[in-house]
Amino acid sequence: VRPAAYQHVVASLATMHGKQWPLKPLLRRRLGLRLVTADVDTDVLGTFTGEVPRPGDAEQVALRKARLGMAATGAEVGLASEGSFGAYPGAPWIPADREHLALVDDRLGFTLVESVLTTQTNHGSTTTDGRDLGGLLDFARRTGFPSHGLTVTPAGVDPAAGVVKGVHRLGDLLHAVRRACRDSPDGRAVVAADLRAHTNPTRMRAIAAAGRRLADRLATGCPGCGSPGYGRTGVERGLPCGGCGGPTELVAAVLLGCVRCAYRSRSPVGGTADPGCCPRCNP
């Protein structure tokens, strides 16, 4: 085990949106890693407001952003994050945010993406013709405005044509809504939570949580080869039912693996499943 694998190592963080604020002190403290911000245009790999579609899934985009930062700074180690906003798995009525944090390590020759899933998120949008001020202000309040930013786009047009981002003041919001309604073919504006990290403290906390998870993993050495980054690679389902002993869909074991060698292990969670979760006892 080499817990000091990242001591004094300089790594780039590709971000235009202040992600260094939580990640820099955290990774310094936990790993001794020195983060330099690579101010590269990460918007070329997709924007939340839709002007640029995201090329590929969030993990791939996070890895590509990390590479952009490494190319810009010459660092051999690079990090980047990417968020995915949608519904909680299996519960489509609950909004969720999955934050991916990617690490590319060209010194040791591996890549790693850790993620956290949280229901602490404010993503959502509303469409307004500008007349229902109460409804607009109610939406704004629910998204955490004004500490959380909003975006305003004319309804029914290409978002690239007129999106206003980072709206944090009531006067700016009302002005942007009036303009967007005027520029929209159907006279309406789409107001949405601004999901960029620096305008969204809730998302920034989720990115910090992903940072803690990545730091934990990088601080864990492989029992086989000593490489950093040993940790969870998946789960095995089939926890036995407490009633009939048959397999259920619940997690029976956590699978652990190394990012560099073939070492694998299986950590059983123990216990039994409630018969209420069993397809035979409770079909």
For Zn ion, what does the binding mask look like between residues 250 and 269, x meaning CB under 5 A? --------x--x-x------
If binding means CB under 5 A, how many residues of this protein chain bind Zn ion? Answer: 14
Q: Is 73 helix (H, G, I), strand (E, B) or coil?
A: helix
Distance CA 134, CA 249 (A): 46
The window from 17-25, 118-126, 130-138, 273-281 that contacts Zn ion (CB under 5 A) reads 273-281
Looking at beta carbons only, is 197 or 278 nearer to Zn ion? 278
Q: How many CB atoms lie within 10 A of CB 183?
A: 16
* First vs last C-alpha separation in the chain: 47
Contact of 144 with 173, CB cutoff 8 Å: no
Q: How far is the CB of 59 from Zn ion (least distance, A)?
A: 21
Q: How far is the CB of 219 from Zn ion (least distance, A)?
A: 15
Looking at beta carbons only, is 137 or 281 nearer to Zn ion? 281
Contact of 255 with 264, CB cutoff 8 Å: yes
Q: Rule CB under 5 A: which of 218-247 touch Zn ion? A: 222, 224-225, 227, 241, 243-244
Looking at beta carbons only, is 244 or 269 nearer to Zn ion? 244
Q: Rule CB under 5 A: which of 193-222 touch Zn ion? A: 222
Looking at beta carbons only, is 54 or 232 nearer to Zn ion? 232
Burial 137-162 (b: 16+ CB within 10 A, else e): eebbeebebeebbbbbbbbebebeeb
Phi, psi of 69 (to 5 degrees): -65, -40
Among 101, 116, 219, 278, binds Zn ion (CB under 5 A): 278
**Contact flag: residue 191 with Zn ion (CB under 5 A):** no
Looking at beta carbons only, is 86 or 245 nearer to Zn ion? 245
Distance CA 8, CA 260 (A): 21
Contact of 228 with 220, CB cutoff 8 Å: yes
Which residues contribute to the site for Zn ion (CB under 5 A)?
Answer: 222, 224-225, 227, 241, 243-244, 258, 261, 263, 275, 278, 280-281
